[in-house]
Amino acid sequence: MQYPLSRDEHAAMARYLSGIRKQLQEVSDLFAARYGKSSSIAEIAVKALVSSTLLEHELMLLEPELEEVLADSLDTPELVEAATAH
């Protein structure tokens, strides 16, 4: 990984993606209710929702890698422990 997100950037992206996913869920539900679940617009909305969910999940999988990068960049065990404490 060349330019990993900082801990703050990672948290901000997680919040953004969570908000996007929630909004796309509402859009998907509305289109399914108004146009029917098998309508093309409802199906595309579901695909968008699935994509945002996959992206959010992938970001969560990067968290251990972020902690590893932080650990490698810090010199003392105390700093590593403080930086990776949840």
Q: How far is residue 30's CA from residue 45's CA, in Å, rounded to a whole number?
A: 10
Q: What is the pLDDT of residues 25-74, one digit of tens each?
A: 999 999 999 999 999 999 999 999 999 999 999 999 987 766 666 566 55
Task: Summarize the confidence of residues 9-30 as an average pLDDT.
Answer: 96
The DSSP 8-state label assigned to residue 3 in this structure reads: S
Q: Yes or no: say if 49 and 28 are a contact pair by the CB < 8 Å rule.
A: yes
Q: Yes or no: say if 35 and 41 are a contact pair by the CB < 8 Å rule.
A: yes
CA angle 11, 16, 85 (to 5 degrees): 15
Look at 6 and 85; give whichever has higher pLDDT: 6
Sequence spans of domains, the chain:
7-84
In this predicted structure, the answer to whether residue 8 has a pLDDT above a threshold of 50 is yes
Q: Yes or no: say if 10 and 59 are a contact pair by the CB < 8 Å rule.
A: yes
pLDDT at 68: 66
